[in-house]
Chain A
Amino acid sequence: MRDQDGFGISRRDLLKAGVAIGVGTFLYPGIGAFAKSDDPVKIGHIDPQTGTYAALGGSQIAGAKLAIDQINAKGGILGRPVQLLVEDSAANVGQSVQKARKLVNRNKVHFLMGAVSSAVALALSQAAHDMNVLYLDIGGHADAVTGSKCHWNTFRTCSTTWLLTAGDFKTIFDKFGKKWYFLTPDYAFGHALHRDYVSQLKQAGGQELGNALAPLGTTDFSSYLIKAKSTNPDVLIVLNAGNDMINTLKQATQFGLNKDMAVGGAMMEMEVLESLPEAARYGYWNMEWYWQQPNVPHVKEFVDAYKKHNADKVPTARSWFGFASAHALALAAEKAKSLNTMKVVKALEGLELPPEVSLQPNKAIYRAGDHQLIGSEYPGQINKSGSYPNLFDVADVVDASKIARSVEAKGCKMTYPS
């Protein structure tokens, strides 16, 4: 048998392999892309379309698409049409980095945006920094993205974990008690939320009874919930997101935890609420944007336009992130009159979103010092008896500029390339 020492290969094999490779590369989309002109402004959008954060990523993409349609209807960016290139990250860090490199190296995108998972956001921020591309983190919340690991080319639309926790900390603490137990997803986002809550809890004289770390994508939370119950806290803080949050709340109901203690957390999302059975709808949470703001101009038009494109679903906070982010990039490029990374970065610093984009009662500004959008928080309570889309009662709209930490306190030292 030839293959016993068969590390050789014949010329004909090679020719055939060459043909196979040739055919393979012919199928490859590059040639077509080459023929087209380089005219459109390209935005690379990396978000999970599969995995535990698929629903959240889907909303962000839908929001961004709506914004791109609006921008194109008004003549695009600098007179050029805008193209959104969406790639699936599956909330997988390695895959996201690879996609970012592909979008920049092959598709030559001008900007990158996206991320639901904080880990992905941190990794994309660094990859974009390597490649000198502007990256707008639209949905990864960990403080570090615009804090200790801030980069000159990275901006963020969604709140920091600090803002999320500060949004409803006081209400939960005053209302339900000072002995807290945490259920935390074991990655950047969860750790950051936990740290931020604990530092406020300690300052207010509260007590942390325990913190259960669950890996991302856990389906069975029973062991964590039993541990939580055994410590008998006043409040159970659930810091999960996406499907993990749904599973936690469903199982907490089965264990009757919500009867013994208050349940709450830093971040509730419309996507999660939609998927919860009625029995599992309870608790005190914080939202980052809500579709029902009758006294705020332009919100209704946005909600209607979004519903028209998305099978009558109301926009979620995530939809708004995508929407506002795509608009912010377009506004900054128009302001800079350029697509040059540094010029657009400078234009985005201190940019205030116009009311038809910000869609909230307070000002929404990309802070120049740390590139963080400072807007509003919407703490409130789940509407137990409500039906879709009336699932949440916003108690208060908090102006984030009043609770945000300073750039120095966040530990961001911005350095620009010389």
Chain B
Amino acid sequence: MKSAASRHVDAAKPADAMSSQKSTRRRVAASALVWALLLTAPYWLPLTGGYTDLGSRVLVFSLAALGLNLLLGFTGGLSFGHAAYFGLGAYGTGLMLKFVTHSTPLALLAGVALGGLGATLFGPVTVRRRGIYFAMITIAIGQMFYFVAVRWNSLTGGEDGLTGFERTNIHFGHAILNLHNSTIFYYFTLFFFAIGCAVVWSVLRSPLGHTFVAIRENQKRLRFLGVSVGFYLWIAFAISGFIAALAGALYALLNNFTSPEDLNWVLSGDFVIICVLGGMRTFWGPLVGSVIYVVVQDYLSSITVNWMSFIGAIFVLAVLFFPWGLLGFFQRRIQK
């Protein structure tokens, strides 16, 4: 049944070998440029008025959006509750560092496991419905975690947020990775961002990924072909939950702090906005969206308290004029 799905996609690919070769080369060049920019960010960011922590923030948000985009852009499931898994990742990491261990990698692992398993557990509940109902259920589940975090004062610190933990250095024998240094933490984040990218990229390349796309394109037909759509949606939901949790875990380490806001549906909405702004059918869309969102927020919120209106305006304009997101727009222009 997988092959059926992939054949469906293959048929839609441009048959022209020349052009496909050209586009492959383009793609490689583009990816190389993205990675080069990301790898050198700590060196050119200060020159443009940014700062390293801002770079780490962009990475964290794009990683979360990348995870969400696997579900939203490639499988066609509009989740408004991904902040829940992001926040669970953050709380898992923070609680682990605060109460159990001083090992950053272990805490990170705990956070990813907590958030990812949360998504895996609640996935089957959500995938039974599509469209607006799917979105509603994901919001409801997300808000459930939010209120648990707000009310469970003794463990989570309630509305005050979780304080009293900090990322610790990693020891490799004699070598020490000094995570307190912003630049080193940026590369630490970039490393996990790369892992997230690699996971999403290989999933999309695999028959599994083709099935996801097929679900987005024509769910009914897949059902007739005997594909268990709910099952694949669940897998997409779980993978994207794990990646969002990884982003959340990194976010907790970045701020040495986490609060119920990290679980709130408002943040889920931000992730969706990031995907849509950047282009939710493109691989690098979430990164572009995240750059726009985080930088605009950082810059405008110093100037005006009404910065959200500007984000809103940008979003409305983007949806009106770039319904495929910025990257999607350019990609389509080139193909014409």
B204 pairs with A7, CB closer than 8 A: yes
> Would you give the 0/1 interface string for A148-192, flagging 1 where the beta carbon is closer than 8 Å to chain B?
010000000000000000000000000000000000001110010
CB distance from A366 to the nearest CB of B (A): 23
Cβ-defined contact, A119 with B159, below 8 A = yes
Interchain CB contact under 8 A, B48 and A94: no
Within the complex, the shortest CB–CB distance from B122 to chain A, in Å, comes to: 23
Contact B53 A93 (CB under 8 A): no
Task: Tell me the B30-64 residues at the A interface (CB within 8 Å).
Answer: 30-31, 33-34, 37, 46-54, 57
- Indicate whether B221 reaches chain A with its CB closer than 8 angstroms: no
B327 neighbours in A (Cβ, 8 Å)? 9, 13, 17
B334 contact set on A, CB distance < 8 A: 10, 12-13
Tell whether A10 pairs with B331 under 8 Å between CB atoms, given A1-B12, A28-B49, A94-B261. yes
Contact of A3 (CB < 8 Å), options: B47, B256, B326, B331? B331
> By CB atoms of chain A within 10 A, which of B34, B255, B258, B291 has the most?
B255
Please give the distance in Å from B9's CB to the nearest CB on chain A. 6
Check B330 against A88 for contact (C-beta < 8 Å).
Answer: no
Q: Across the interface, do B159 and A186 meet the contact criterion of CB distance under 8 Å?
A: yes
B169 smallest CB distance to A (angstroms): 14
The answer to whether B305 and A13 have CB atoms under 8 Å apart is no
Residues on the B chain within 8 Å of A105, using CB: 51-54, 182
Interface segment out of the listed B112-120, B170-178, B292-300: B292-300
Does A338 count as interface, using CB distance less than 8 angstroms? no
Q: How far is the CA of A98 from the CA of B255 in the complex (A)?
A: 7
Given A94-B255, A130-B166, A187-B160, verify A16-B330 contact (CB < 8 Å): yes
A21 touches B291 (CB 8 A): yes
B330 and A49: CB pair below 8 A? no
Neighbouring A residues of B133 by C-beta, 8 Å: none
Per-residue contact bits, chain B 153-169, to A (CB 8 Å; 1 contact, 0 not)? 10000111101101000
Q: In the assembly, what is the distance between CA of A99 and CA of B300, in Å?
A: 12
**Residue in A8, A18, A21, A90 whose CB lies within 8 Å of B23:** A8
Across the interface, do B54 and A17 meet the contact criterion of CB distance under 8 Å? no
Query: Which residues of chain B have C-beta atoms less than 8 A from A33's C-beta?
Result: 49
**Which of B13, B24, B160, B262 has a CB less than 8 Å from the CB of A123?**
B160
Whether B261 contacts A215 by the Cβ 8 Å rule is no
Report if A186-B48 is in contact (Cβ < 8 Å); known contacts: A9-B282, A9-B283, A10-B331. Answer: no
Nearest-CB distance from A264 to chain B (Å)? 24
B257 at the interface (CB under 8 A from A): yes
A85 to B262, CA, bound (A): 26
- Chain B interface residue count, CB cutoff 8 Å, equals 69
CA distance A272 to B12 in the complex (A): 65
Which positions 193-215 of chain A face chain B at CB distance < 8 Å? 215
B31 to chain A, nearest CB (A): 7
A227 at the A/B interface (Cβ < 8 Å)?
A: no
Within 8 A of A (CB), among B258-301: 258-259, 261-262, 281-284, 288, 291-292, 295, 298-299, 301
B95 at the interface (CB under 8 A from A): no
A88 to chain B: which residues have CB within 8 Å?
301, 305
Q: Is the CB of A30 within 8 A of B50?
A: yes
Contact B30 A14 (CB under 8 A): yes
Identity of the chain B residue whose Cβ is nearest the Cβ of A24 in the assembled complex: B295
- Cβ contact within 8 Å between B257 and A123: yes
Task: For A130, give the chain B residue with the smallest CB separation.
Answer: B256
Q: CA separation between A188 and B164, bound complex, in Å? A: 15
When the two chains form their complex, are residues B161 and A93 in contact, meaning their CB atoms are under 8 A apart? yes
Task: Determine whether B245 belongs to the interface, using a CB cutoff of 8 Å to chain A.
Answer: no
Closest to A31 in B: B49
A143 contacts partner chain B, Cβ-Cβ < 8 Å: no
Of A9, A98, A126, which is in contact with the most chain B CB atoms at under 10 Å from its CB?
A9
Q: Which of A236-285 contact B (CB under 8 A)?
A: none
A388 at the binding interface (Cβ < 8 Å) = no
- The chain A residue with its CB closest to the CB of B28 is A8
Nearest Cβ in chain A — how far from B323, in angstroms?
A: 12
Chain B contacts for A119, CB-based, 8 A: 159-161, 259
Expressed in whole angstroms, the Cα–Cα distance for A187 and B335 within the complex equals 55
Judged by a CB distance under 8 angstroms, whether A101 is at the interface is: yes
Closest chain-B Cβ to A218's Cβ sits at a distance in Å of 12
Q: How far is the CB of B292 from chain A (nearest CB, A)?
A: 7
Q: A11 and B326: CB pair below 8 A?
A: no
19 chain-A/chain-B pairs, Cβ below 8 angstroms: A1-B12, A3-B331, A8-B30, A12-B330, A13-B30, A13-B334, A14-B34, A24-B295, A29-B302, A31-B48, A88-B305, A93-B261, A94-B259, A97-B257, A98-B57, A118-B160, A126-B164, A126-B256, A186-B150
Listed from nearest, the 8 A-B pairs whose CB atoms lie closest are: A30-B49, A7-B283, A8-B27, A25-B48, A119-B160, A3-B281, A187-B159, A10-B26
Interface residues of B (CB under 8 A from A): 9, 12-14, 23-24, 26-27, 29-31, 33-34, 37, 46-54, 57, 150, 153, 158-161, 163-164, 166, 182, 200-201, 204, 210, 213, 217, 255-259, 261-262, 281-284, 288, 291-292, 295, 298-299, 301-302, 305, 324, 326-328, 330-332, 334-335
